[in-house]
Amino acid sequence: MTTVRDKNIDEEAASLRAAMVRELRNLGAITSDSVADAVAAVPRHLFAVGEPLKAAYAANQALVIKRDEDGTALSSLSATHIQAVMLEQAGIEPGMRVLEVGSGGYNAALIAELVGKEGASISVDIDAEIVERARKCLDAAGYEQVEVVRADAAAGVPELAPFDRIIVTAGAWDIPSAWLDQLSDRGRIVVPLRMRGLTRSIAFDRAAGPEAELVSDSYRLCGFVPMQGASAYTERLVHITDGLALRVDDQKQDFDTDALAAAVRSPRLEVWSGAAFDLPDELELFLVTNTPEMVMLHGSKDLVDQGLLALSVTRGVPTLVSGGSFAYRTKRQNEETGGFESGVLAHGPDAEAVAARYVELLRRWASDHQRRGAARIAYRPLPAGTAEPSQGVVAKRLGAVAFSWS
């Protein structure tokens, strides 16, 4: 029996849901009526059990649903903002078969709305507890038709393939071959792919012709809890000194940590590019994909307070390392333009040389590529372990991600 309290909750949830749809449209996350209608239809609060209604309908708030003993998030209900973005990237149409990797339940319900009665929404997760939770939430929200499968998602769900769309809702370091095998001939995969410390949601389509590669011109900034199971990948953290480390994708790359630790306390070289600092997420992607030696530098606020490093290191910053020297980007206000100018801070015996290389990248970005969507991305499957990093190429275990910039 529906109580007055239940009715009041439903009415408040509907109002908050409508407001969230308007906000997502204003933010540019929702651009189509079909995604707007799906978000307006699915009661997100039924997938955010125990959370206040306002938290359930906060457009940019992810909700952790499982942590490990150390408090690290193992599974989360992603922020509706990025879910809407990825659904728009996917371009789901009625009647499609869609596989979701990672089972929070809510996104699978959105997919069910988009594919309609003639389509199929299938969700797979390695964690039995998460699968059970998703199943209960989907049933409570009226989405019994969604299939939830417990399996290592690296193997896909071959018994239910092929899929017109595969949407990955966990951070992936590579693209398992099973996903490609189970993707239809004209299929699309939307995956949060991690590359040299940065994650982007990339919508890959199969390329025309005999090649097996995937191609994309759609990518968006995002962040997700990492994949588990066979496709899990642990980035390497190279400690330089107290409160300072390099986050590295390539397990083979060597660093002279003693020399770099000494460089931190050496005089700092400051070089300004004369180029505007804008679109930092696009700039970072350009930097890390154009130089194999570029890694992410993470530093503590204490080192900043000591005057050794700039504030940008506290958030992680692309850093060019050469022997015992390193350089990273910074910015300053430009009184002439009223905006910011990009620059470089360098340390170590070869500070001038490494700073010059970095500044050249900043100037090339500003003169040739400073706009959204300038990258074209291809994923090329290769025999395991054969990919090699180079300019414009990020090596993966099962393939290579190649970037070209227009």
For the chain, the residue count is 406
**CA separation for the pair 215, 401 (Å, rounded):** 10
The DSSP call for residue 29 is: S
Residue pair 225/170 in contact (Cβ under 8 Å)? The answer is: yes
pLDDT over 70 percentage in the chain? 94
Q: How far apart are the C-alpha atoms of 124 and 150, rounded to whole Å?
A: 6
Residue 74 confidence (pLDDT): 66
State the pairing for strand pair 214-216/219-221: unpaired
What are the tokens at 401?
């991600």
324, pLDDT greater than 80: yes
For residue 325, what is the DSSP state? Answer: E
pLDDT tens-digit readout, 6-18: 666 789 999 999 9
Position 296 pLDDT exceeds 70: yes
Residue 250 pLDDT level (bands cut at 50, 70, 90) = low
Torsion of CA 186, 188, 193, 195, to 10 degrees: 40
Q: Specify the 3-state DSSP secondary structure of 128.
A: helix
Binned at pLDDT 50, 70 and 90, residue 150 comes out as very high
Based on the residue annotation, tell me whether 184 is a catalytic residue of this protein: no
Residue 2 has pLDDT above 70, yes or no: no
The tally of CA atoms less than 13 A away on the side-chain side of residue 267 is 5
DSSP one-letter string for 139-184:
HHTT-TTSEEEES-GGG--GGG--EEEEEE-SBBSS--HHHHHTEE
The answer to whether residue 208 scores a pLDDT higher than 90 is no
Assigned token pair, 23: 């906000």
The string of pLDDT tens digits covering residues 356-396 is: 999 999 999 998 888 999 999 999 998 877 878 788 999 99
Tell me how far apart the 2 most distant CA atoms of the chain are, in Å: 76
Amino acid at 318: P
Pick the closest to residue 351 from 234, 236, 264 (CA basis): 264
Other Cβ atoms less than 10 A from the Cβ of 267: the count is 9
Q: How many CA atoms lie within 13 A of 296 on its CB side?
A: 20
What's the CA gap between 326 and 365, in Å, rounded?
Answer: 20
Q: What is the mean pLDDT of residues 234-252?
A: 87
Q: Is the pLDDT of residue 288 over 90?
A: yes
* Per-domain residue ranges of the chain: 4-231, 236-369
Mean pLDDT calculated for residue range 227-242: 88
The answer for residues whose C-beta is within 8 angstroms of residue 235's C-beta and 6 or more apart is 194, 197, 247, 248, 249
Mean pLDDT of all residues in the chain?
Answer: 92
CA distance 105 to 70: 25
The CA distance from 101 to 124, in Å, is: 5
Q: One of 78, 103, 325, 342 is an active-site residue; which one?
A: 78
Task: Give the range with max mean pLDDT: 129-133, 211-215, 386-390.
Answer: 129-133
User: Candidates 3.30.70.890, 3.30.230.10, 3.40.50.150, 3.40.50.720; correct CATH number of 4-231?
Assistant: 3.40.50.150
> Which tens digit of pLDDT belongs to each residue from 35-91?
999 999 999 999 998 899 999 999 998 887 777 666 666 677 889 999 999 999 999
pLDDT for 265 beyond 90: yes
Percentage above 90 pLDDT, the chain: 76
pLDDT value of position 124: 98
Q: Which residues pair with 301 in a beta bridge?
A: none
pLDDT at 71: 64
For 185-197, how does the pLDDT look when each residue is reduced to its tens digit (9 = 90+)?
A: 999 999 999 999 8
The 8-class DSSP code of residue 49 comes to T
Q: Check pLDDT > 80 for residue 398.
A: yes
Mean pLDDT of all residues in 173-200: 95
* 157-to-4, 103, 152, 180, 396 alpha-carbon distances in Å: 43, 13, 9, 12, 23
What pLDDT is attached to residue 133?
94
Q: How confident is the model at residue 1 (pLDDT cuts 50, 70, 90)?
A: very low
Take residue 114 and report the two structure tokens written for it. Answer: 């988009």
Banded pLDDT at 230 (limits 50, 70, 90): confident
Q: Closest Cα to residue 264, out of 248, 247, 241?
A: 241
pLDDT of 156 above 90: yes
